[in-house]
Structure 1
């Protein structure tokens, strides 16, 4: 027996293992006694010798994060009368930490009651450190492989540099041997774009928060030799297998080219590349800021709109190269004549804008006149030509009563227009009456253009489909009018309708459209073969064409008779025509509208109430009107997919319309999401580019 015990101890010593023994009194490990024999106490950092201690005392030596795990593992083994294997850490008196592994069996008395455990325990610190080192190297290798072509630096948990890859050495100027042991803030010194120290290094933030830090693209690397390199850096923590934070890995790359390109693009977006002045877009931002300060702080500013009077002569005489040089020289000259706070912009072509911050009108007039005089005195020489220039300047005050940036620009443009009208090379201070005057002058110009359109047959008709939804058939086309001059682009009605309404030309336009549509219907029928024409005659004619009528036409006593004459002359079935009248026009002419609509409705014409909802009036008057369709105002339709209020409004109009037996039409259905909501709400028809585009409507002479 003694020989066997001796051999056992020798084997344990060779394996550097110790006896692990405990005595149980009530089946609770926490109340047990732990016994250490001979050199076993060295595992606790104590001198050799037998030691008996309460388990609770021994547990204080165990590292706090491992205590619960150790106790639970041992207690479970006791409860099940089995053995256990466990690894845990202990802290020695010198505060160093060591890993121990234990394996033991539970012993019971003759009644099966656990009375103790017996096993072995040994030190595995070296193995654990090797495992952690291997895990760290594996993590480092993986990150490095993923970061080929980018600089990679790793640190320990204190932020001290451990490793640099070759790219990091090239970018920072530090070799691995030089950098190892230095703090990351030295090996990867970062500053912001202004040259100031950054609030917190990405690696240190990563270590503090114990999480990955996303890429930052606003910093610069200060290399070992003092050069500045624009970089984009990110950091991620390095973890051990047991979840210990081992350090951080920082990945960074040179983004000098990208940042330079980005700055150039940003500059180009807000500046005129020819003159270097800010462009119209940025100028509008500056005006908006000035308007905000005027409203919030009651500041007063001034806006100048400048139009060069002789610039076109330079271009026509000497070419665009001369014109470009003239603008460059003029921009530099004007900047020398202005206050440091003043803002000069090129708005386009030969138009310039000036914002005079904190400048009352009387002072602004002086500055504007000084600029005018400077331009007048400016001489531009190209080859043998010498040019004198002039400038017309419109001036607008920006104060707390100013309405919007757009209206300020319009007012400045109108003031500039009046300066040119009154002899050029002068400054005109905008007055409230200027806009009305300019509008009247513009409208009077349109009168002559409309007369020209009638005389030379410049009017054109287009058709846009109104498509049935949810099984509704009987779709038809809305007829839209345009002007196509002999030279120039197509003119939309928004440009000429206001003038036509002011000067009582809308009735004439409406009559032209009605006659043209009737001629079109006749030409389509005449183009059919005999059999198709016979079938068409025997089928009820649907409302195929929807014609807009202005409010003034409702007061035209002879319009109804004119419409009937056109039906008779061109053999058009009244059922083929639907007249569209806006809600506001009907309300303004309700009695006449009722009489007009009733007469044509009796013939078979149909009626559509356009822009319904825009007047925010009640549904009550609908009972007195023979309306077939409600066209819901596009203001409610455009954003219906994202705006709950618009959706509710459309839903209410649709439901009330259906209760009254009126079909509903959604205007301005421009995309699939809007169309999907319109279908979902159960509207009968849709109109817009999502269901059909405009097409020319042929009209025979």
Structure 2
């Protein structure tokens, strides 16, 4: 990704030089509290300056001074790396020991890049300390999870701002209708979104160029069709308003509809209709506006998937696992049935990374994820909790079958070792388990802690 495209993406989200917002301040506060750090910042890094969108625990004069921070700033280094930057003691770190913030007392730093649309690094979520601190893997995972939430909010905020600006433009077109026929005609024809005039019976009277382009028809072909002939065959079942609502005295209505292009391609539009009344007060036609929502719908689905799925393995991520496991706990209590939680960790993961490199480490994680996916049922929750740790929540597993299940999982790993000659080392995992009693006070956090402790006992037994 070039620096030019990164800065273009930064400007496109329209966050620079905006006032503080509660949602960002709340996330910064959560970051500070979660990592027990005195200072947390959400920072956007522009070409020659830094803009602090949110700051917790930092004096105001520091923010003024940091706005023109040079090339050796903590956050700029994190953006350049594109991955978390952990600094135990800034006074001894070659990148930032000469930075003004170090001279003012900032000693420890942990920053995670804010990545939007999967590739653009806009800035950082960071925490600072005034004493040396060795940051743990859990600290990095926690801040990374929070950074992904910040990035998602930035994306959704940008989409809302963009939609609001388009709505203002559409409102301006409607106001032009009241100012005069000639001005309306010009606005109608040059409008960037599809617009048309429709009879109360739903027949097109006039259409603009944008609407013709949206559906791929000429003007003559468009006016030969009824409004609802252009929707998807199953759209009728999706409608919140019946087709005859066009003849009802409504001020305005709006809905998302699935439509069909002349080529047969399906796409989504936001359809809104406003009545234009005649002298008697009855609608003589409706001003209909259609805006292509295909990109927004795709982005919503992408964000939904990103918020639940681990990018490396395709398994559920930690956030999704905890949310769905909580629902499984409630269901298990109502139905009075047990659950079993398995916690697995890849053995010698640090040695694999140090000896063969992180790409091979990623391959080992993907291999174990594939084994887990094929060993357990579709109804079981299988997730990568972070790093080389995995969790599985399964229902209807009798206690006496638990050892058989663990043995089967171990055998699947051994089969991978036997079948894959490209591995330069044998894969193995350590496993811990915990049983959920629906009549007891157990929580998902307690069950994870218990299974995690048993997993480390299993790992320790292998090293004896």
TM-score by length of 2: 0.55
Distance 1:385 1:174, change over 3 A: closer
For residue 423 of structure 1, report the CA deviation from its aligned partner. 3.4
Unaligned runs of 5+ in 1: 1-133, 426-701
For residue 390 of structure 1, report the CA deviation from its aligned partner. 1.9
For residue 180 of structure 1, report the CA deviation from its aligned partner. 2.3
Distance 1:139 1:289, change over 3 A: farther
Query: What CA distance in whole angstroms lies between the structure 2 residues aligned with 1:259 and 1:172?
Result: 18
For residue 181 of structure 1, report the CA deviation from its aligned partner. 5.0
- Aligned pair 1:423/2:462, yes or no? yes
Residue in structure 1 matched with residue 300 of structure 2 by the alignment: 262
Unaligned runs of 5+ in 2: 1-176
For residue 142 of structure 1, report the CA deviation from its aligned partner. 6.6
Distance 1:385 1:288, change over 3 A: closer
Contact conserved, 2:189 with 2:209, CA < 8 A, in 1? no
TM-score by length of 1: 0.37
Distance 1:340 1:137, change over 3 A: same
For the residue of structure 2 that corresponds to 1:388, the secondary structure is coil
Distance 1:290 1:135, change over 3 A: closer
For residue 292 of structure 1, report the CA deviation from its aligned partner. 0.8
Residue in structure 1 matched with residue 251 of structure 2 by the alignment: 211
Of the three residues 151, 154, 166, the one matched with 2:209 is: 166
For residue 237 of structure 1, report the CA deviation from its aligned partner. 1.9
Query: What CA distance in whole angstroms lies between the structure 1 residues aligned with 2:232 and 2:241?
Result: 7
Residue in structure 2 matched with residue 226 of structure 1 by the alignment: 264
Contact conserved, 1:275 with 1:328, CA < 8 A, in 2? yes
Of the three residues 413, 420, 426, the one matched with 2:452 is: 413
Residue in structure 2 matched with residue 189 of structure 1 by the alignment: 231
Contact conserved, 2:315 with 2:383, CA < 8 A, in 1? yes
Query: What CA distance in whole angstroms lies between the structure 2 residues aligned with 1:293 and 1:212?
Result: 42
- Aligned pair 1:322/2:360, yes or no? yes
- Aligned pair 1:404/2:446, yes or no? no
For the residue of structure 1 that corresponds to 2:462, the secondary structure is coil
For the residue of structure 1 that corresponds to 2:289, the secondary structure is strand
Contact conserved, 2:417 with 2:423, CA < 8 A, in 1? no
For residue 269 of structure 1, report the CA deviation from its aligned partner. 1.4
Residue in structure 1 matched with residue 195 of structure 2 by the alignment: 152
Q: Please list, as runs of the form range in 1=range in 2, the aligned pairs for 1:441-480 lying within 5 A after superposition.
A: none
Larger Rg: 1
Moved more, 400-409 or 263-272: 400-409
For residue 140 of structure 1, report the CA deviation from its aligned partner. 10
Contact conserved, 1:203 with 1:248, CA < 8 A, in 2? no
Q: CA RMSD in A?
A: 3.3
For the residue of structure 1 that corresponds to 2:393, the secondary structure is strand
For residue 242 of structure 1, report the CA deviation from its aligned partner. 3.7
For residue 213 of structure 1, report the CA deviation from its aligned partner. 1.6
- Residue-by-residue CA offset, 1:346-398 (whole Å, 9 max, x unaligned): 11111011121333333343222211222234329999862112212121223
Of the three residues 347, 353, 362, the one matched with 2:400 is: 362
For the residue of structure 2 that corresponds to 1:352, the secondary structure is strand
For the residue of structure 1 that corresponds to 2:353, the secondary structure is helix
For residue 223 of structure 1, report the CA deviation from its aligned partner. 1.9
Q: Which has the higher contact order (CA 8 A, sep 6+)?
A: 2
Of the three residues 372, 376, 395, the one matched with 2:410 is: 372
Contact conserved, 2:232 with 2:266, CA < 8 A, in 1? no
